[in-house]
Amino acid sequence: MSLQDDVDVLRAIPLFAKIEPAKLKLLAFTSEHMEFEAGETVFRQGDPGDAAYIILDGSADIVVDTPQGAVTVAHLARNDVVGEIAILCDVPRTATVVASSDLATLRVGKDAFFNLVTQFPQVGVGIMSELAHRLHQTTVNLTDLSAKLRRLETEGGTA
Amino acid sequence: MEPTIFGYIRRHSWKEQLIVLAITAASFPFLYWSLNLPKTIVNDALSRPDEPHNFYGWDLDKFQYLFALCGLFLALVLINGIFKYIVNVYAGLVAERMLRRLRYDLYSHILRFPLPHMKRVSTGEVVQMINAETEALGGYIGTALQIPAYQGGTLLVILVFIFIQDPVLGLAAIALYPIQAYFIPKLQRRVNRLGKERIRQVRRLADRISETVSGVRDLRANDATQYERARMSQELSVVYYIRYRIYILKFMIKFINNFFAQIAPFFFFSVGGYLVLTGNVSLGAIVAVLSAHKDLSSPWRELLDYYQLLQDVRIKYDQVVSQFQPRGLVDERRQLDEPTGELKFEGEIEARGVLVRDEEGDTRLDNLSFKIPMPSTVAITGPGGGGREELAMALAGLITPDAGRVTIGGQDLAQLPDSVLGRKMAFVGFPPFVGSDTIEDNLLLGMRHRPLHPYQPSKGEEARYKREQMDTARAGNSPFDFRADWVDWAAAGVEREEDRLPFLARTLEVVQLDADVYALGLRGTLQADRSADLREKLLEVRRAMSQRLESDESLARLVERFDPARYNSNATLAENLLFGAPADDQFQIDRLAEHTYVRQVLDQVGISNELRQAGLGLARTMVELFADLPPDHEFYQQFSFIRAEDLPDYQALVARADPAALDRLDENDRQRLLALPFKLINARHRLGLITKDLEAKILEARKVFRENLPPELSSSVAFFEPDAYNDAASVQDNVLFGKVAYGAAQAPVRIAALIRSLLEEAGLRERIIEVGLSFHCGPGGGRLSVAQRQKLAIARAILRRPMVLVLHDAATAIDAADQSELIERILEAMDGRTVIWSLARADLAGLFGMTLALDKGRLLDAAEQEQKVEPQEAEA
């Protein structure tokens, strides 16, 4: 797999889509390929987040620890990205990711990513606009949901 | 040491000086003879050719006589030359011997300096004194009598000769000496004063330089480098003017001297000419006197130089020796004497009225009296500067109280020689001393007191060894041979040779240094002369590793092993080409592309151009990726193949290079492109520059490289061989025999664990620690962390099982959380003996049987201690 393929993979991720090609190439160059065997843990819930992973091949499960035990909440497949929040802010991992088949990933390290953003503000602006977009989407969803909830409550009150 | 250089010479080299004098005296008759001969030639052979000539019993005709005299003259010239040669060589020998003695004496004095004085000693100045300033002294000592005797004698012989020819001519020759004798010492005194100043200034310079060397980090962190440069300029300027003035005066002296020497012929021609004309003196005599006078100027000049040198070294000796005799110099016998009789460490350690002042006269310990029963464990607590260090050192016998005394079992420590204090007791202070030796040497430092078994020279070198011994004794150097067996294993309770390593390993375990030394051993290389059997054992581990990898699929993918017939995509291109470890700096991986032989191999296989193409591709990518990064960006360090400062050059290179015609680039550019791809690692860099085709060619180059390697380079590389141990590679690389795969999650950690478990299964843990013990600690132990150095110093102290162990801030750099465990382990290892520990953290005092709380040099009583506990814990 060549560097150019990695650049294409990164570009397909919405978070990185707005970064200009030359910088994306630098990000790809500073990222590394990381392979896991089926059953191997990519990262664990509660660990400090130090990288985002993009699935290049294979699949993985997102598992959350609950008082009732571990629950698989989602599956990841090719071109999915996981852990991207970790490279934007200091939060511990909110879930565990386990390879469910042999898994190939592209690992984007937090330090390299931060270096890139601090060096080239336009990269940060691109990311910010993507995040704002997401926030907007979330807000819209939330408003919708609140309206629905209120409606349900009113209906429940009359029932 | 003797107060003046003349005393030193008299005491240590009078015999040699007498020999020099004897040789010199023996040479004078020949000298006189050679002076007289020209007169005989002129007056006898030439002026009266037709008279019969008798030459030592032979009757000769005029030609035979002339050539016989000339032949004699030649022989005398030769004899004079040989005398000079012998005297010079012998004087040189004396000079070197005395220089050696002087340096040894000065060095020996450093070891006797009182410890409080060390704070005021500047390393730079001491080094300057022992190395540079003594050099001139040694040179002088060798010629101390020889030059005045030989040159003075020569001068005298010539003068006597002139006087015998004619007293009036003689007077003419020395008429101007009184004037010179008046002026020259006057000027010389001014030179001397400047000379003193110069010495002081150069020492300051040496001190400044050594201080800068140790402080570069902080100077840069404070942007103080310009200020320091200015300061250095100022110091250099002072030296410059002093030296300049010395030159002016020195050459003034020379000028006066030459002038008077050269106007002497004026007197010979005027006075002598008159005498010849009046018939009172023969022409031959005038010729002889003139030629003798020519010879006069050389000894006169030598004497004058000698006079200047004499003044110079007199000052130097005085200025050096006075620096090496501080007040309170330890009596030499305290270090040289062997203990007589067995010293009893029974009863108690008692301090009675102990008072210690520092060099400024301030009281550091104020009238302390206490008793410590033996054995016991004691903590000394108190704020820094409150006298803890002084008390610890006084209890270890390292400083002598100004009043009162410290006794052990009734014995006053101040009376005990180092051979008792340094064997039965141990002290670990802050900062710990770790020398630039191996870890093992540093550990065994405390067990090397006297040679136990003399050094046995091998058959071939016995004669040379004897000679060396004799020369060492003549120079008054150490009577002990450094190469002898010094380690007193018996003192550590180790009887058998095979118990030594386990004993060292156990001691390292006590101070929790074993894992570190083990890790160093894994990264270390085997020494050629040691551990022969270990190589075979490690090869077995390598085979076991192969089996494990073959049987376990999930492990196998973590490693790519070396295979002579395959390209290793997890290794650099350079490693793939060399397929071995560089054994010296000929084939350093970084600079492989520059090596002539490597270039030759690449050309032979015909891949130079392809590599340059790859280099160009790489340069393009680098220029594209790194173009807008500032030069100090950390990406350069981590990811770039091109250093930030070289990037503009490569930008230009990429712009002008035509991929189809790389031949047209100049040699420099071609070289640059060629060097780039050598660090490419296929599995890591994913640039697609090393194609399968190129890999195959590099494998071919690998073969060619090895087959055609010239014999003179054969020891520069240790090739990877599946069935041979590689001495140039580390222990763990030898076991692994491959590269950890990039991109396999957890690979480095899992492989490291595998190597460790295999080594442990093979029972080699101690042997690897042994390899780690030969790790070089670097100057001042700088290659170890401070915590490691502290642990090493403690291990060294407990190794020889002292009856009393005194420590001061000995574990401060060790993780706070680990300190109490470490202290417990040490107390356990020292069970049944006494440990006195001066602690920076009062909360650790609970681990000890009793506590001495100090404040401002006074002992606090129990009630005061209660009050102090609270604030002190906050401070800790």
Nearest residue to B758 (alpha-carbon basis) of B732, B737, B740: B732
In 3-state terms, chain A is what percent helix, strand and coil (to 5)?
Answer: 45, 30, 25
Q: Quick check: B625 and A33 CB within 8 A?
A: no
Give dist(CA B205, CA B211) in Å, integer. 10
- Is there a contact between B173 and B293 (Cβ–Cβ < 8 Å)? yes
Q: What is the pLDDT of residues B780-820, one digit of tens each?
A: 888 999 999 999 999 999 998 899 999 999 998 888 888 99
Within 8 A by CB and 6+ apart from B858, the residues are: B366, B367, B368, B387
CA distance A99 to chain B (A): 11
Within-domain flag for A159: no
Within-domain flag for A94: yes
Domain count, chain A: 1
Shortest CA distance from B744: residue in chain A: A35
Among B618, B682, B686, pick the best mutation site for testing chain A contact (most A Cβ within 10 A). Answer: B686
Asked if residue A159 has pLDDT above 70, the reply is no
Proportion of chain B above pLDDT 90, given as a percent: 36
Q: What is the largest CA-CA distance in chain B?
A: 120
Work out the angle at residue B33's Cα, subtended by the Cα atoms of residues B32 and B37, and round it to the nearest 5 degrees.
120
Asked if residue B269 has pLDDT above 90, the reply is no
Taking CB atoms and an 8 Å cutoff, what residues of chain A touch B637? none
CA distance B742 to chain A (A): 8
Give the rounded distance of the alpha carbon of B548 from its chain centre: 47
Within-domain flag for A60: yes
Q: Quick check: A33 and B742 CB within 8 A?
A: yes
Q: What is the pLDDT of residues B93-110, one digit of tens each?
A: 999 999 999 999 999 999
Q: Quick check: B635 and A26 CB within 8 A?
A: yes
Shortest CA distance from A106: residue in chain B: B743
Q: Quick check: A35 and B628 CB within 8 A?
A: no
Strand, helix or coil for residue B745: coil
Asked if residue B75 has pLDDT above 90, the reply is yes
When the pLDDT of each residue in chain B is averaged and rounded to a whole number, the result is 87
Give dist(CA B357, CA B363) in Å, integer. 4
Nearest residue to A14 (alpha-carbon basis) of A51, A45, A54, A50: A54
Length in residues, chain B: 876
Taking CB atoms and an 8 Å cutoff, what residues of chain B touch A44? none
Tell me how far CA of residue B800 lies from CA of B293, B649, B805, B822, B865, in angstroms: 73, 61, 11, 18, 35
Numbered residues of chain A with Cβ closer than 8 Å to any chain B Cβ: 1-3, 6, 22, 25-26, 29-30, 32-37, 40, 42, 112, 115, 119-120
Tokens, residue A107 = 């690992």
Q: What is the pLDDT of residues B663-710, one digit of tens each?
A: 788 888 888 888 889 988 988 888 888 889 999 999 999 999 999 999
Taking CB atoms and an 8 Å cutoff, what residues of chain A touch B621? 3, 29
Taking CB atoms and an 8 Å cutoff, what residues of chain A touch B638? 30, 112
Within 8 A by CB and 6+ apart from A44, the residues are: A93, A96
Proportion of chain B above pLDDT 70, given as a percent: 97
Within-domain flag for A113: yes
What does the pLDDT read at residue B306?
87
Taking CB atoms and an 8 Å cutoff, what residues of chain B touch A32? 684, 742-743
Q: H or E segment at B19?
A: helix B5-40
Q: Quick check: B625 and A25 CB within 8 A?
A: yes
Taking CB atoms and an 8 Å cutoff, what residues of chain B touch A37? 554, 557
Q: Quick check: B624 and A25 CB within 8 A?
A: yes
Taking CB atoms and an 8 Å cutoff, what residues of chain A touch B688? 2-3
> Environment class of residue B516 by beta-carbon count within 10 Å: exposed (0-12), middle (13-18) or buried (19+)?
buried
Give dist(CA A34, CA B150) in Å, integer. 84
Q: Quick check: A30 and B639 CB within 8 A?
A: yes
Q: What is the pLDDT of residues B631-645, one digit of tens each?
A: 888 888 778 888 888
Q: Considering CB atoms only, which of B633, B686, B688 is closest to A119?
A: B633
Give dist(CA A133, CA A141) in Å, integer. 12
What does the pLDDT read at residue A1?
57
Give residue B336's pLDDT band: very low, low, confident or very high (50, 70, 90). Answer: confident
Neighbouring CB atoms inside 10 A of B851's CB total: 19
Tokens, residue B50 = 């037709």
- Is there a contact between B127 and B211 (Cβ–Cβ < 8 Å)? no
Q: What is the pLDDT of residues B209-260, one digit of tens each?
A: 888 988 888 888 889 899 999 999 999 999 999 999 999 998 888 888 888 7
CATH code at A46?
A: 2.60.120.10
Give dist(CA A57, CA A59) in Å, integer. 7
Gyration radius of chain A over CA positions: 18
Q: H or E segment at B739?
A: strand B738-740
Asked if residue B329 has pLDDT above 80, the reply is yes
Numbered residues of chain B with Cβ closer than 8 Å to any chain A Cβ: 554, 557, 621, 624-626, 628-630, 633-635, 638-639, 684, 686-688, 742-746
Range of the domain at A134: 3-154
What does the pLDDT read at residue B738?
93
Q: Quick check: A35 and B743 CB within 8 A?
A: yes
Q: Quick check: B624 and A22 CB within 8 A?
A: yes
CA distance A86 to chain B (A): 19
How many Cβ pairs within 8 Å bridge chains A and B?
A: 50
Give dist(CA B751, CA B745) in Å, integer. 11
Q: What is the pLDDT of residues A2-35, one digit of tens each?
A: 788 888 888 888 888 878 888 888 888 889 899 9
Q: Considering CB atoms only, which of A6, A25, A36 is closest to B745?
A: A36
Q: Quick check: B625 and A29 CB within 8 A?
A: yes
Average pLDDT of the residues in B151-167: 84
Q: What is the pLDDT of residues B738-796, one digit of tens each?
A: 999 988 888 888 999 999 999 999 999 999 999 999 999 998 888 999 999 999 999 99
Q: Quick check: B639 and A29 CB within 8 A?
A: yes
Q: What is the pLDDT of residues B469-526, one digit of tens each?
A: 999 999 999 989 888 899 989 888 888 888 999 999 999 999 999 999 999 999 999 8
What does the pLDDT read at residue B876?
38
Q: Quick check: B634 and A115 CB within 8 A?
A: yes
What does the pLDDT read at residue B870?
47
Neighbouring CB atoms inside 10 A of B70's CB total: 13
Q: Quick check: B633 and A30 CB within 8 A?
A: no
Asked if residue B530 has pLDDT above 80, the reply is no
Asked if residue B875 has pLDDT above 70, the reply is no
